[in-house]
Amino acid sequence: MNMDEAEIVRRIKGKKWDVRVQRQGHLQPKAVLCDAEVRPITITTGITITCANSIWVDDCKLYDDEVAEEMWSKFELAFKHNRRWSAPWVSRFDSIALEVFSLERELAGDWHGERPLQLKANFDKYQETLMRIQKYYTVAVPLANYCEASLSLKEPALLEFAFPFKRLDINRMEESLVKIKRASEEGSGRLDKLVAEHLRNYSWIKNSYGIRGEYTRSEVLSEIRGQLPLLNVPEIPKSEYSYLLTGLQIGIYLRSRIKELSQRVWHAADPLLDGIADFLRLDRDQFLALLPEEVLQSMDMGACLVGTPELKRRQEGFVVGILDGKRILLTGKAAPDLFRHFNKQESGGEGEITGTCASIGIVRGNVRIIRGQEDFGKLKQGEILVTAMTTPDFVVIMRRAGAIVTDEGGLSCHAAIVSRELKVPCIVGTKNATRTLKDGDRVEVDATNGIVRKLD
């Protein structure tokens, strides 16, 4: 490792980071997300959020903790000026969703053999759409956390209404599954048509960070075997702190909508990216190891400008993102060194792991560590799903779980919201469950008290 790399590693280790997300995926989409997250965001008149640091260390996402702390004071100031300052973001995302739907139509079909200029233009459009969505993630999660923390001090009873501000695609997916379940129970001839329609509408559900998986008929039929509760929105009581609840619900909606729309964009772009990879005479994994700017430069040259040995190193491990406003990319020994640094083993006490209760209940079962889609098949009915965090693609297996335990998250995270809808016991924010537990461990999940106990 040369001195430049050593200095970058030193500076990364010296900063205060929020290790908020652990997610498998390829270098290229993660680089696009980092570019998005350093774009300035004006949250209301005169108040702007800026971030100069956004980094992925392989599967580990680092957010600048100093910026996250600064956001809370800016949120407080924004609410003093205008208690509805976050409301326009909902309609803004409605507009972005229309752009995503349009992009899905434009990118459909086979892009092999297409002209380079057309490939480049659509690659730019794909990137820009993804960045317009993802730039808000940096703010959406702190907004939800700020409002959740404020309500826990001012009026904790309102946290019972911590659900998304608007219906999401995942709620529509639930409604679709209910129709399929009814058709199955009635022996309706419409079953095959409903399943086929469901698979068309939600084929994107298993596409994330360049990792694509096929959503299958057998998975749909497995999903409808269990209970399929629909989102029941109770009447919210009037309160002087209703503005904080609205902010919390908008934060929850945004963080979920960002994930849904990003997955749809990745899924829509798949044929285009395959076409560009073919033009550059690369396989898909090699292509997804290129930085976005390298893709465009390589297309101008008519051949990949990055050699095969370097592409292989990037596939084995990478550090990519923006550090102090500048692009960084490290491979080789630097990547595993930093990954170990940010994934240190934490002690969980004498046979116990603690976290926040997201959905009450007590369940005993065997642990299954689920790190990504390639692990989904491991989880058997009634087993304990243990993961860093859940995202919309996890819904396909969350119904199988006897209980859910995550490293990350609070009462407003994806796992908490979905587990309450499914009435599955859930503990979030344990910090170390995936590192303390292992496949096959027999545990008791006392979600009511936020404790996971190892059993003999």
Give dist(CA 228, CA 225) in Å, integer. 9
Beta strand pairing status for 362-369 and 41-44?
Answer: unpaired
Beta strand pairing status for 426-428 and 326-330?
Answer: unpaired
pTM score: 0.88
Give residue 266's identity as a one-letter amino acid code.
W
Give dist(CA 104, CA 125) in Å, integer. 11
Give me the tens of pLDDT residue by residue for the chain, a chain 456 residues long: 445 888 999 999 999 998 877 888 999 999 999 999 999 999 888 899 999 999 999 988 999 988 888 899 999 999 999 999 999 999 999 999 999 999 999 999 999 998 999 999 999 999 999 999 999 998 998 999 999 999 999 999 998 888 899 999 988 998 899 999 999 988 888 999 999 999 999 999 999 999 988 899 998 988 888 666 655 666 788 899 999 999 999 999 999 999 999 999 999 999 999 999 999 999 999 999 999 999 999 999 999 999 999 999 999 999 999 999 999 999 988 888 998 888 764 444 456 889 889 899 999 999 999 988 888 889 998 999 999 888 888 888 888 899 999 988 887 788 888 888 888 999 998 888 988 899 999 999 999 999 999 987
> Which positions ≥6 away from 340 have C-beta within 8 Å?
none
Q: Tell me what pLDDT residue 409 has.
A: 80
> Which positions ≥6 away from 405 have C-beta within 8 Å?
353, 355, 384, 385, 386, 387, 426, 427, 428, 430, 433, 437, 445, 452
Q: Tell me what pLDDT residue 347 has.
A: 44
Give dist(CA 446, CA 453) in Å, integer. 8
**Do the Cβ atoms of 426 and 404 come closer than 8 Å?**
yes
Q: Whose structure tokens read 């989880």?
A: 379
- All structural domains of the chain, each given as residue ranges with its CATH number in brackets, are 3-147+240-341 (no CATH), 169-223 (no CATH), 352-454 (3.50.30.10)
Q: Tell me what pLDDT residue 348 has.
A: 45
Q: What is the 8-class DSSP label of residue 17?
A: E
Per-residue exposure over 38-75, b if at least 16 CB sit within 10 Å of its own CB, e if not: bbebebbeeeebebebbbbbbbbbbbbeebbeebeebb
Q: Tell me what pLDDT residue 227 has.
A: 63
DSSP string, 179-245: HHHHHHHHT-TTHHHHHHHHHHHTGGGG-BTTB-----HHHHHHHTTS--PPP--PPPPP-TTHHHH
Give residue 48's identity as a one-letter amino acid code.
T
**Do the Cβ atoms of 5 and 330 come closer than 8 Å?**
yes
